[in-house]
Amino acid sequence: MKVLIVHAHPEPRSFVGALRDVAVEELTPLGHEVRVSDLHAIGFRADTGRHDFLEAADAGYLKPQREQMHASERGTFAPDVGAEIERLLWADTVLWTFPLWWFSLPAILKGWVDRVFVMGTIYGGGRIYATGALKGRRAMLAFTTGGPAASYAPGGFNGDLNLLLYPIHHGMLWFTGMEVLPPFVVYGPARMSDEERAAALDAWRERLRGIERLAPLGPDCGVPAA
């Protein structure tokens, strides 16, 4: 596999950082190629703007999709955006390691999506979902929560986790054509003992060793009601 890990946590020694490190340590000896985009470490910008592009299709009115189409045709993405598009197209397997903040992606990771999933290269011209440009590739979320598992069950006080993840699984990953693997979730590592955290990392190692045989969620991403 060619694995791109997109990592978003501001503390390098966080438990989410351990998820990233364990993935590199586990996958590399198995013969997989692994690249890491550590968004906080590289100071990746989260906001979409003129700085995404080396030139303008319309200098008087910024419509991001139009500029993305233009830059896709002419190869004029700013270097930070262009480098991430290249890595995304290189990978056949994409892992996102992050803390779930406000039931969603940290802003820096959402910014990676906004700026890198560009019209004209990653989607557009009717290529979405089953005909998406990233068809045949696979993606998996690996994240931590603050609350305990029970609070994310159907009827739990935070709401069903599959529903909370639906905009990410369906609207970002499956939209591009990537098959979505079941997420790997560590509930409340901040409240765990060292032994429990070590056990969670062992479970992560096992998940990674089996990733090639893992069945994707399917187009409904675990939310048949949608």
Query: Which residues of the shown chain bind its own copies in the complex (CB under 8 A)?
Result: 10-11, 13-14, 40, 46-50, 61-65, 101-108, 110-111, 113-114, 117, 129, 146, 154, 157-160, 163-164, 166-168, 170-172, 175, 190, 223, 225-226
To 5 degrees, how large is the angle CA 32–CA 36–CA 39?
A: 165
Pick between residue 23 and residue 161 the one whose CB is nearest to its own copies: 161
Instruction: Mark residue 186 as left, alpha or beta (left: phi above 0; alpha: psi -120 to 50; beta: remaining).
Output: beta
**Minimum CB separation from its own copies for residue 142, in Å?**
18
- The smaller minimum CB distance to its own copies, of residues 194 and 213, is found at 194
| Coil vs helix vs strand at 18 | helix
Of 119 and 214, which has the nearer Cβ to its own copies? 119
Q: Which of 160, 164, 163 is nearest to 150 (CA)?
A: 160
Return the number of the residue (14 or 76) whose C-beta is nearest its own copies: 14
- Supply the minimum distance, in Å, between the C-beta of residue 126 and its own copies: 12
Contact 46, 107 (CB under 8 A): yes
Instruction: Choose between 150 and 190: whose C-beta lies nearer to its own copies.
Output: 190
The least CB distance from residue 215 to its own copies, in Å, is 21
Distance CA(161)–CA(167), nearest Å, equals 11
Rounded to a whole number of angstroms, the minimum distance from the CB of residue 95 to its own copies is 18
CB of 182 to its own copies, least distance (A): 19
Q: How many angstroms separate the CA atoms of 14 and 99, rounded?
A: 10
In DSSP terms, which residues pair with 38 in a beta bridge?
7
Q: Which is nearer to its own copies, 140 or 161 (CB)?
A: 161
As a whole number of angstroms, the distance between CA 20 and CA 16 comes to 6
CB of 112 to its own copies, least distance (A): 8
Nearest to its own copies of 49, 148 (CB atom)? 49
| 85, 121 Cβ separation under 8 angstroms | yes
CB of 195 to its own copies, least distance (A): 20
Q: What is the dihedral of CA 84, 89, 91, 96, to 10 degrees?
A: 50
17: Cβ–Cβ under 8 A, 6 or more apart, which residues? 7, 9, 11
